[in-house]
């Protein structure tokens, strides 16, 4: 149960980071 929650949080974290990274790259041009 706990491990599953951590995995979900990790996936959410990765998606958020990727989105912000894409936005940052887009604005840094």
d(CA 28, CA 19): 14
pLDDT tens across 5-27, in order? 989 999 999 999 999 999 999 88
Q: Indicate yes or no: pTM above 0.75.
A: no
Q: CA neighbours within 13 Å on the CB side: how many for 23?
A: 6
Does 2 score more than 90 pLDDT?
A: no
């Amino acid at each position: 149960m706990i491990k599953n929650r951590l995995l979900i949080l990790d996936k959410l974290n990765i998606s958020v980071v990727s989105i912000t990274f894409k936005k940052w790259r887009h604005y840094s041009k």
